[in-house]
Amino acid sequence: MRPQLLGLIVLAACGGGSAPEPDALNPCLNETRADTFVVGLDKRGTSGMFDFALMSGDPAPPARGDNTWILQVSTMVSGVVGAPLTGAAMTVTPFMPDHGHGTPIKVNVTETSTAGQYKLSPINMWMPGYWETTVTASESGSSDTAVFKFCIPD
């Protein structure tokens, strides 16, 4: 077979040799559900019992792979942020609602030396796309939940 003909066959098999548009490779380009990462990103709990503030992220903004967050959790009194919540039991669940799956890696929660602050690690967002990370805190019979929403680019 002549080399020129072989080249044409290879180009045709690969979709004509044109690369996908760069925007088509970015799953976050048109995502409107995601939060914008900022230090202190604040979420009121769904029950109004606790306030959740994302104090830091490593990396920042959240990225593909393992992430570490420092979360400040405080009590709420009549809609006003109150005292830091210490000694809380917490669960952290990263989940991709568009794909219907989470991650097999358990998030460890460690209380830091700063009152009401907890280290969450690893938050494994292993593939690009929209992730919702649900944080539930429980203490003395009270429980509340917040959801942090980030789109992870490729």
Q: What is the CATH number of the domain that holds 80?
A: 2.60.40.10
83 in a structural domain: yes
118 in a structural domain: yes
Q: What is the mean pLDDT of residues 120-142?
A: 97
CA distance 35 to 148: 7
Q: What local confidence, expressed as pLDDT, does residue 133 receive?
A: 98
pLDDT digits (tens, 9 = 90+) for 78-96: 999 999 999 999 999 999 9
20 in a structural domain: no
**Sign of the torsion formed by the C-alpha atoms of 63, 67, 76 and 140:** positive
Cβ contact 134:45 at 8 Å: no
pTM higher than the cut 0.95:
no
More reliable by pLDDT, 26 or 13:
26
Q: What local confidence, expressed as pLDDT, does residue 21 receive?
A: 54
pLDDT digits (tens, 9 = 90+) for 27-63: 899 999 999 999 999 999 999 999 999 999 999 999 9
14 in a structural domain: no
Domain span holding position 146? 25-152
9 in a structural domain: no
Q: What local confidence, expressed as pLDDT, does residue 23 receive?
A: 54
Considering only CA atoms, give the Rg of the chain. Answer: 21
56 in a structural domain: yes
13 in a structural domain: no
Q: What local confidence, expressed as pLDDT, does residue 126 receive?
A: 96
Residue 123: phi and psi, rounded to 5, are -95, 100
Q: What local confidence, expressed as pLDDT, does residue 26 receive?
A: 82
Q: What local confidence, expressed as pLDDT, does residue 13 receive?
A: 43
The count of domains in the chain is 1
1 in a structural domain: no
CA distance 78 to 27: 39
Q: What is the mean pLDDT of residues 12-26?
A: 53
Confidence of residue 120 (pLDDT cuts 50, 70, 90): very high
- Both tokens of 117, joined, read 């602050």
